[in-house]
Amino acid sequence: MCGRFAITLPNDAMAQLFAAQPSNALPAVPGFNVCPTNQVHVVRTSETGRKLLPMRWGFLPQWYKAENGGPLLINARAETLAEKPAFRAACRERRCLLVATGFYEWTKSAQDTRLPWYIHRRDSAPIAFAGVWQDWGTAESRQATCAIVTTQANAHMSKIHHRMPLILEPDDWALWLGERGKGAARLMKPGAENVLDYFRVDPAVNSNRAHGPELIEPFEDDQSAPQEG
């Protein structure tokens, strides 16, 4: 799964990387502790090309009467994406990319303490999470919302968690966004083993109020190696 992430890439660099027209209302960067319900950077396609837009991280199905009208849907399982009523239409018609520099996951110590890990690409490139989006609300309350698609973890990532975000390579962005016809379903599988790496970070990130570049710096202690299983 993915419940927190970081984004340090400037907005103009994101727009250039994804060949997208940026919105004037993008979230401020850097963000070292992006949390659910925050506004996040999302790339989607339109009739006039790709757009880089802000969206609420937390997908709101149309039948929700309020933002808290049901479970907080920050992730969507790839295995059931095309079947779940909340995501079925978005899977066909409203796929997107969420931009990140890295993301956090947690393990537990023998004393049941939460141990945070920062996960990033080995090549230091930005991460493109596969996502789905949905407009929700009416009139002034109308907003775009999104969720990150997840898959079963590959062997490397399973040392940290049994799920992982679906991370797409540049050659696959157009297919996921629907710009290259049909066939996006074939992308919904665990990523290659050699793409991601991880290291322990300061437990300060356990608080959703923590911010600052120190959150993504390595933190060494006697529990800095993940345990198998």
Residue pLDDT, tens place only, 112-123: 889 999 999 999
Instruction: Dump pLDDT digits (tens) for 30-73.
Output: 999 999 999 999 999 999 999 999 999 999 999 999 999 999 99
The Cα–Cα gap between 103 and 109 comes to 20
Domain boundaries, given as residue ranges, for the chain: 5-103+127-192
CATH architecture of 5-103+127-192: Alpha-Beta Complex (3.90)
pLDDT confidence bin for 228, thresholds 50/70/90:
very low
Question: What are the start-end ranges of the H helices in 9-160?
Answer: 11-17, 88-93
* Rounded Cα–Cα distance for residues 16 and 138 (Å): 32
Please give the positions annotated as active site.
2, 105
pLDDT above 70: residue 225: no
Read off the pLDDT band of 101 (50, 70, 90): very high
Q: What gap in Å lies between CA 134 and CA 136, rounded to an integer? A: 6
The structure tokens 């290659």 sit at 192
Q: Could you tell me which of 136, 121, 161 has the C-alpha nearest to residue 70?
A: 136
- Cβ atoms of residues 195 and 167 within 8 Å: yes
